[in-house]
Amino acid sequence: MSSLLSENWPCKSDPKEIFELVRTEDIDLLNSRFPVDRIKLLATDGASHYLSRFIDDMDKDTFAKWMEYHLATCERQDLIGASNHTLDILRVRD
């Protein structure tokens, strides 16, 4: 596993913890060990973590716009790292 930021700024995950910090390169390395093909890798929450106070107070129309934005950006690979969570959808090869 690579250091999350750099050799000078590592982020470590403890197996006893609930969450694990990984980079997409690490996800790809793990996937390469199995006969799978990626269908999609997407950000499940995107910028929601940073805007949660505002999202909770949105009216129905504003929230619909927020969801429109999120769905338009959640598959952009250059924004995956802005999300606290990702979803890797894989298909087992025949």
Cβ atoms within 10 Å, residue 47:
17
Could you tell me the pLDDT band of residue 26, with boundaries at 50, 70 and 90?
A: confident
- Over residues 82-93, the mean pLDDT reads 93
Residue identified by tokens 């199995």 is: 34
- Interval 34-45: pLDDT, tens: 999 999 999 999
Joined together, the tokens standing for residue 92 give: 């087992």
Q: Which of 18-22, 24-28, 75-79, 81-85 has the lowest mean pLDDT?
A: 18-22
Alpha helices by DSSP H, listed for 1-79, are 24-31, 48-56, 60-73
Q: pLDDT at residue 6 above 80?
A: no
